[in-house]
Structure 1
């Protein structure tokens, strides 16, 4: 089955931001390939669920292969999968380093390399959207997070590099740099403190992120942009 409609791959798609991004791209008329380490099949024939751990060698390439086999093309890749481990720098372990870099960097690298190759082969351009963090640009003394800065800072940098490398071939690359978003990973008892990390006085909502990604998808003259969706964190405190 090859699709004439556009096709998006969304990683970290089983819950939270990723699941909402899948819904948003379906509303835009895209077929969607949804990846997560554990994800259930969809009743929607235009959604292909592909389970797999992107930190494992070759998983990202396999997701792209499954997408091409089912739909015949890839137009957008949303690199949403990622993990955050916040602790003082000297408390990080080798296991922490392997976990964070495995998903945030290798996971990005493997699937993006294959997706860009597919976009180039198809010849109709494409779009990479990376989910980064405002902490990569603006450190916060209340949130020790060196591994997030190391990896998400890399994503922000490579977003600009890829935007320039492929600008003449119709492939755009953008990122959303997030503040703290209200998702199930943040227990309710932490919400008040997390609200206070943002100048506007609240955490972000999943819809705030989805709206930013949809904007970047539709903004054909925007590439190399790091769009801060962070309640003013990046502007200062």
Structure 2
């Protein structure tokens, strides 16, 4: 166990933005604990795969415990895992509510609570992945449960940033617009690009760049950084 190498935990890490973040942190020299429901171990000994549904009680603590047992410390958590279901409000089901709040809220809460406890002796950084729909709702994507949960994450980001500012723990969020990921099919992108003033789709590298900027920005905490082509600014 090497307790000097910095360690990042990334949820939702098996594909898309999460997998790109794993690669980004490895390039920085971080060891990575990668979580998703079905993630499998790879060839890199500095990437520990911890499968599990963070919406289930106890999984968040298990991820942090695995990081401490394997690498000896926790320095950064990127709460990337999330569920997004766009539906008219009255068509949401109880199952939709349970799934979205389970991952977006319970997952964030349990992972972050355990991580902050592990960071208190040396400091650290939480990054919460949010959405610009919290700031700029649109009829093109009715998504009140995303706003309910991710809006809560934005508020929690600021609250935790203030609570832990003097203890060396920074807390920030990255609010995303439309990013090219497996969540969308190729034929959707032309229409989705119209949701932001730049009229284009963001790339996964744009998200990684934003998260890694915050990782290096020691005087930045409580920030909601929009990576959305100007979507949150207006149309």
> TM-score range, shorter-chain basis?
over 0.9
Unpaired runs of at least 5, structure 1: none
Deviation at 1:124, TM superposition (A): 1.4
**TM-score normalised to structure 1 length:** 0.98
Report the count of equivalent residues.
Answer: 235
Report the counterpart of residue 192 of structure 1 in structure 2.
190
Q: Does 2:176 align with 1:178?
A: yes
Per the alignment, in what secondary structure is the counterpart of residue 132 of structure 1?
Answer: strand
Report the counterpart of residue 147 of structure 1 in structure 2.
145
Q: Does 2:41 align with 1:41?
A: yes
Q: Does 2:9 align with 1:2?
A: no
Deviation at 1:147, TM superposition (A): 0.3
CA deviation profile, 1:140-186 (whole Å, cap 9, x unmatched): 12211100000000001000000000000000000000001111110
Deviation at 1:2, TM superposition (A): 3.4
CA deviation profile, 1:100-136 (whole Å, cap 9, x unmatched): 000000000001000000001xx21000000000011
Alpha-carbon separation, structure 1, partners of 2:16 and 2:135? 24
Report the counterpart of residue 104 of structure 1 in structure 2.
104
Deviation at 1:3, TM superposition (A): 2.6
Q: Does 2:42 align with 1:58?
A: no
Unpaired runs of at least 5, structure 2: none
Per the alignment, in what secondary structure is the counterpart of residue 10 of structure 1?
Answer: strand
Alpha-carbon separation, structure 2, partners of 1:49 and 1:6? 16
Per the alignment, in what secondary structure is the counterpart of residue 201 of structure 2?
Answer: coil
Runs of 4+ in 1 over 6 A off after TM superposition: none
Matches within 5 A, 1:1-237: 1-120=1-120, 123-237=121-235
**TM-score normalised to structure 2 length:** 0.99
Deviation at 1:40, TM superposition (A): 1.3
